[in-house]
Structure 1
Amino acid sequence: MMLIPCPFCGPRNESEFAYGGPVKPDRPDPNAVTDAQWVDYLMQVPNPLGPVHERWHHARGCGVWLTIWRDTRTHDIKEAPDA
């Protein structure tokens, strides 16, 4: 079980949250990149081993979107959002 620190509700069980995925780089202009680069941006999801910058939605709570740093090896939250 992971406890995710909500800035409004405090540490909450991961079952209250919906995973929003890793934080991606800014969306490129589709007209300024090649088709291959555009497909890579849309379809390639990073899956690194170690700290990952992620988005989580407190769906069964206050409804806030958070960005946290989570270590994918241990599920430890390395950096929590500011309140």
Structure 2
Amino acid sequence: METAAIPIEVKHTIGDLRFRKGLSLEQAAEDMKSVGIKTSDKTLGRWEKDSSVLSWNQMQKFAEYYEIPLDYIFFGPNNAFSEK
């Protein structure tokens, strides 16, 4: 059974967001519980390395946690959809 891979922009973006916030994988996994993402540091690391797939709901929660528009996760900060 094939699973769709996370686009390269997404996996790099979620890792970059965590890095910019100055969080370790452990800290981020614990903090994400505040928005309803129940994950471990190992799963978070797999998402960042593209060895596990995020659901649409999880991506929405990531956007909420990092206080960014959802399109930022897909297209980065310099896109026509992100608020400037």
Length-normalised TM-score, structure 2:
0.21
Length-normalised TM-score, structure 1:
0.21
User: Which structure's CA Rg is the greater one?
Assistant: 1
Q: Which structure dedicates a bigger proportion of its chain to strand? A: 1
